[in-house]
Amino acid sequence: MLAISSDTAAMSAKKIIGGSMSMHARRSSAELRDKILFTQPESCHLGDCPICCLPLPLNHQNSVPYFCCGKIICIGCDYANTLVREREARLQQTCPFCRHPSPKTKEENNKKKMRRVAANDPVAIREIGVKHYSNGDRERAFECFTKAAELGDASAHYFLSLFYRDGQGVEKDEKKGLYYLEEAAIAGLPEARYDLAMLEGKNERYDRSAKHFIIAANLDMTTLKECYKRGGLVSKEDFAAALRAHQAAVDATKSPQRDAAEAFKKFPELGDVEAHFDLSFCIMMGLALRRTKQRKHSIWRRRPLPVILQQGTILDAMRRETVGGKRMASTYETEEADINCASCGIAEVDEIKLKDCDACDLVRYCSEKCQEEHRPKHGEMCKERAAELRDKILFKQPESSYLGDCPICFLPLQIDIQRAVLQSCCSKWICDGCACVNKLLREREVGEKRQLTCPFCRHPSPTSQEEAEIKYMKRVEKNDPVAMTHFGKKRCREGNYVGAFEYFAKAAELGDVEAYYNLSFIYQEGQGVEKDEKKRLYHLEQAAIGGHPDARYNLAVDEWENERYDRTVKHWIIAANLGCDNSIQQLKECYKRGLVSKEDFAAALRAHHAAVDATKSPQRDAASKVFADIQRKAAKDNNA
């Protein structure tokens, strides 16, 4: 046998003891975590209504957030406050808690929301995150949810768990996803508790799954019933206790005011203020209210909900995008829309992959057949949502014109294309100032250095038109969209509209804005293709979105002819902000006719001046004088 020294034995003993202590510490930490995790929360994450002091209902449609004070009010207290204010015509609608005037528009509500964000209100910060998520900005949404979670918001923890589990805007991390899910469940969020139960069931840890379902029994008893029916997963005593606790939790959220508000939600066409009081009084007194045929068409008229009620709760905002904002979806409706086909209801599994609706991204389908069958039900909502998304993109102010900046002086290029030079060697637009300076510097040199070169890539400039065309063709072979657009214009001048269309179409596929603009004219005139008004409008809009001022101006003219003056003014304001002189002149006429406000016209005028001033430089002014002298000399020679 080998002899083992005392030092070696001591070190081995220390490792064994240290390892056992480490295992014991980890076990103790896990036990402590489970003790916290499986403690029944005193209430759900919403807490109590600050007016009636009753627990807020788990259904988010039955509560209303007020961003003047950051409080969530139950629908019963909000409804009672609305009735009192409507009964007295002189009383303005106010917040039931802080008595600040209620916002009349979404813009006012957003201003109040931003004030709460500045005050580090986690609910308002989370709402901003939901807005970024709806707009597709996952990174900013993640930042907002992280900040709200640090301030203790349970829903923000839940949203972060979704981000980490799905890898949205961040790297996929199951550990972090589980941590945030547990934090949300500990804080009393029923959806998080439900998801934990489903995860434990998937891992065949049914005892832990049953514990989660029991804690979340006030959310959904159906799954717990299934566990009881299977036998062994939950005992009869535990199921009976959960059933009693669930009923007690639901009963604690009931009140006559909330019942009256629920009844009003079922009959949204009710419009008369006195009829509101009749309905509320009968429900609060436990009387039956019969709806006779005579009353059916008399006082039961449609009445729109206040803006604050139309927006719903913050937790519903992320789910609202799944159904297009038509109604507020519950957690299960959203999950159903996310993982099930909207037509046949089949769930997404490994063999079946669901695809989003191309137009609106609101629903998903397992096949083209299901999409066609569901089109009659979904078509109208899909078109409305698609139009909203298109307008949101269309009326967004571009950062600059489609020409961008000069790559030499880094100043914005003037929208007058005659004030820039296209280089055939690299397809770069160079401002006339830099081109003129480059030419003057070369003329001062002697020998080989005197040869004119491109200011950007330093290749020798072509000495003839044929040499320039050869260089353009080399750029076309490298799929350069600017060179393709150049050849498209050349084919148009030659009368070869079919060839021009091919070049423009290829350049547009590669994202060239000028190509989109030229395609709109081809479809308008039917040159080389059949006339198509829809395609003309589409390519014109694409050019306008890309920052083409002339395309934006033409869209404004189209809207003017259709008598949609509000859209006309928007287009001309966007074009004026890019430095379009014609648009600012048209805005002056609109201002005289009262179609644009003084503030909007003044803002557009300032933006137009700023855009024009940004393109000025001493070099460009000098180039303008040089070219003006050349033109005068040429005109004088022609006259002679």
Q: Side chain identity at 161, as an amino acid letter?
A: S
pLDDT at 246: 67
Q: Which has the minimum average pLDDT: 84-98, 196-210, 377-391, 543-557?
A: 84-98
CB 224 within 8 A of CB 239: yes
Averaged pLDDT, 14-30: 57
Averaged pLDDT, 117-144: 84
Which long-range CB contacts under 8 A does 38-45 form with residues at least 24 apart? Answer: 38/211, 38/212, 38/215, 39/186, 40/215, 41/186, 41/187, 41/188, 41/215, 42/188, 43/188, 44/188, 44/189, 44/190, 44/218, 45/154, 45/155, 45/184, 45/187, 45/188, 45/189
pLDDT at 90: 47
Q: Find the Cα–Cα–Cα–Cα dihedral 487, 492, 495, 501, rounded to 10°.
A: 80
Q: Which has the minimum average pLDDT: 263-267, 292-296, 368-372?
A: 292-296
Tokens found for residue 35? 């003790």
User: pLDDT tens-digit profile of 35-60?
Assistant: 887 787 766 677 788 877 777 776 66
Return the higher-pLDDT residue of 89 and 434: 434
User: Is the pLDDT assigned to residue 430 strictly greater than 90?
Assistant: yes
Contacts of 538 (CB under 8 A, 6+ apart): none
Q: How far apart are CA 480 and CA 472, in angstroms?
A: 9
pLDDT mean across residues, the chain: 77
User: Is the pLDDT assigned to residue 532 strictly greater than 90?
Assistant: yes
Averaged pLDDT, 59-74: 77
pLDDT at 233: 57
User: pLDDT tens-digit profile of 495-514?
Assistant: 999 999 999 999 999 999 99
Q: How far apart are CA 75 and CA 258, in angstroms?
A: 6
User: Is the pLDDT assigned to residue 370 strictly greater than 80?
Assistant: yes
pLDDT at 424: 93
**CA proximity to 80, closest of 276, 330, 272, 358:** 276
Tokens found for residue 322? 């799944």
Q: How confident is the model at residue 632 (pLDDT cuts 50, 70, 90)?
A: confident
User: Is the pLDDT assigned to residue 284 strictly greater than 50?
Assistant: no
Averaged pLDDT, 124-130: 85
**CA proximity to 578, closest of 615, 617, 541:** 615
Q: Which has the minimum average pLDDT: 275-284, 327-336, 387-396?
A: 327-336
Q: How far apart are CA 354 and CA 261, in angstroms?
A: 38
pLDDT at 470: 93
Averaged pLDDT, 436-442: 86
CB 277 within 8 A of CB 98: no
pLDDT at 394: 94
Q: Give just the sign of the alpha carbon dihedral 609, 615, 618, 620.
A: negative
| Rounded percentage of the chain residues whose pLDDT exceeds 70 | 73
pLDDT at 577: 95
Q: How confident is the model at residue 278 (pLDDT cuts 50, 70, 90)?
A: very low
pLDDT at 104: 75
Q: How confident is the model at residue 195 (pLDDT cuts 50, 70, 90)?
A: confident
Q: Side chain identity at 493, as an amino acid letter?
A: R
User: pLDDT tens-digit profile of 219-230?
Assistant: 544 445 555 555
User: pLDDT tens-digit profile of 296-323?
Assistant: 333 223 233 333 333 333 333 333 333 3
Q: How confident is the model at residue 445 (pLDDT cuts 50, 70, 90)?
A: confident
pLDDT at 587: 94
User: Is the pLDDT assigned to residue 102 strictly greater than 90?
Assistant: no
Q: How confident is the model at residue 452 (pLDDT cuts 50, 70, 90)?
A: confident
pLDDT at 326: 38
Residues β-bridged to residue 74: 63
CA 107 to mean position of chain CA atoms: 17
Give the domains, in start order, of the chain with CATH numbers.
60-268 (1.25.40.10), 269-304 (no CATH), 340-394 (no CATH)
